[in-house]
Structure 1
Amino acid sequence: MTRHSLSLLLRNEPGALARIVVLFSSRGVDVESLSLGPAEPHGGHSALSRLDVVVGLQPGRTAAQLVKQLGRIVDVKSVVDRTHDEALELGA
Structure 2
Amino acid sequence: MHRLSLLLRNKPGALARVVVLFSTRDVAVESLSLNPADADGLSRLDVQVRLREGRSVDQLVHQLRRVVDLCEVSAA
> Structure 2: which 5+ runs fail to align?
none
- Are 2:59 and 1:65 equivalent residues in the alignment? yes
Alpha-carbon offset, residue 74 of structure 1: 1.3
Letter in 2 for 1:76: L
Instruction: Select 1:7's aligned residue among 2, 5, 8.
Output: 5
**RMSD of aligned alpha carbons:** 1.1
Q: How many residues align?
A: 76
**Which TM-score applies when normalising by structure 1?**
0.80
Segments of 4+ moved more than 6 angstroms: none
More strand, by proportion: 2
**Which TM-score applies when normalising by structure 2?**
0.96
Q: Secondary structure at the match of 1:36?
A: strand
Instruction: Select 1:48's aligned residue among 30, 33, 42.
Output: 42
Q: Deviations over 1:13-40 (max 9, x none)?
A: 0000000000000000000000001002
Q: Which protein is bigger by CA-based radius of gyration?
A: 1
> Structure 1: which 5+ runs fail to align?
83-92
